[in-house]
Structure 1
């Protein structure tokens, strides 16, 4: 009996050690599983936060681009409106002058009013407006002044250039300034006549925009912008001895363009950052 008890005791001890080893193994596997679960949860949480950040960045970039698009659309709409005002101005001036028997022409885009030498009487090599043409010159000034002042439409304009032109005949006067000086003095002669003879409410030299800048300016282009390329006859040469009134409209300011460019660069950077992530 004693010998039998010892055999059962040894067998029980061996079975018990086997169960302990299996239990340790299961505990270790459970620990590894829990660690894997925790790691997975941390990874998913990190990815979710990254996705949220990317979505927020994408929304910000979209808002930047939307704002940039709105700014551009506003600028385009404003510029189109100003160009339409200019077109109406030039066409109205030309129509009014035609009704008064003064023949002028306008450019295809209705931005330039061409006043021929027949209206102002510039002889070759001369910048003087002859007395017989002064009334016509003054009528042009009055019509133009009344038209641009109506409803303060001149506020849509940037500058109105009174441009003098010459034919291709070489000119050696005006202290060697040549055709450049001759064309400039033709514009100055018309400008001075308007300043001396138009009334205070008609004068163009006192027409100022809200920012205090004058609307009108004077310049000369010699024979560099001919309306008749061939100048072999007196008629062809006379066509180039003219005054052009060039109407330019206000464009976007440097500050407005800088804002659009800055927003564009910020949006591009945000988009690139989103693509890299």
Structure 2
């Protein structure tokens, strides 16, 4: 006859084992949740950092594009002014030649060469003789009318009336030598224009945006000869001349520096991002 079976009570050892396993699972779950939270935070931070970098890159690209556009505008403006200068110098030359006055222009159409045959400067002299005054006034009139047309003088910075001499040493004008002689040749032509050109063609009335005169006078002695060899009187006479040099307004050093600094800053910002 068999004995009745009793339900076995769980031992203390079994209960402890079950509790330890539950604690372990809870701990693992907690670790997993913490890992998930850290991963989410890390991804969020990376996303924010990426968004910030993209914003910086876009800002740098926009700044660089702005600086590039400014530079392109400066170049386009300067190119346009140079084209205006070339056109008016060629027009002056063509008009004077049509009136029987022989002049030449430089290869870049920036300088008008007026030979001594037109103004009659004797060696060692800065006087414009009566026989040449009419030609000198015609030159001034044509220059004035041409630069005034469509207010093209506004594209110019300065028009230099430059005097030149041959290589023969000059001892007059209180020891200023050929430098003084060349300058006085330019002054003689300018004074003739100033005194005898009618108000409608007066070159002295042409002013730049800053209120300064467009025309200026200078002398270069024999430092810029058109004939290097001066063995003959004809070669020496070719160097006794007046040059009319037309310069155009360009960007200032500060404007260019501002563009360069902006471009460097944009490039650095783009590299960092």
| TM-score of the superposed pair, with normalisation by structure 1 | 0.93
Counterpart in the other structure of 1:215: 214
What are the superposed Cα offsets for residues 107-136 of structure 1, whole Å, 9 maximum, x if unpaired?
Answer: 001000000000000111111111111111
The 2-side partners of 1:55 and 1:136 are apart by 69
Which stretch shifts more, 197-206 or 91-100? Answer: 197-206
Counterpart in the other structure of 2:87: 88
Query: Offset of 1:207 from its aligned partner?
Result: 1.4
1:138 aligns with 2:137: yes
SS of 2:31's equivalent in the other structure is helix
Superposed CA RMSD in Å reads: 1.8
Counterpart in the other structure of 1:172: 171
The 2-side partners of 1:258 and 1:21 are apart by 74
Which runs of 5 or more structure 1 residues have no equivalent in the other structure? Answer: none
The 2-side partners of 1:210 and 1:52 are apart by 47
SS of 1:205's equivalent in the other structure is helix
The 2-side partners of 1:167 and 1:37 are apart by 92
Query: Offset of 1:237 from its aligned partner?
Result: 0.7
Count of residue correspondences:
271
Counterpart in the other structure of 1:110: 109
The 2-side partners of 1:144 and 1:35 are apart by 86
Counterpart in the other structure of 1:235: 234
Query: Offset of 1:255 from its aligned partner?
Result: 4.8
Query: Offset of 1:24 from its aligned partner?
Result: 0.8
What are the superposed Cα offsets for residues 119-172 of structure 1, whole Å, 9 maximum, x if unpaired?
Answer: 000111111111111111000000000000011110000000000001111111
Which runs of 5 or more structure 2 residues have no equivalent in the other structure? Answer: none
What are the superposed Cα offsets for residues 164-200 of structure 1, whole Å, 9 maximum, x if unpaired?
Answer: 0011111111101011000000000000111111111
Counterpart in the other structure of 1:8: 8
1:1-277 matches, cutoff 5 A: 8-9=8-9, 11-274=10-273
Query: Offset of 1:16 from its aligned partner?
Result: 1.8
What are the superposed Cα offsets for residues 217-245 of structure 1, whole Å, 9 maximum, x if unpaired?
Answer: 00000111111111111111111100000
Query: Offset of 1:17 from its aligned partner?
Result: 1.6
The 2-side partners of 1:210 and 1:30 are apart by 79
Query: Offset of 1:253 from its aligned partner?
Result: 3.2
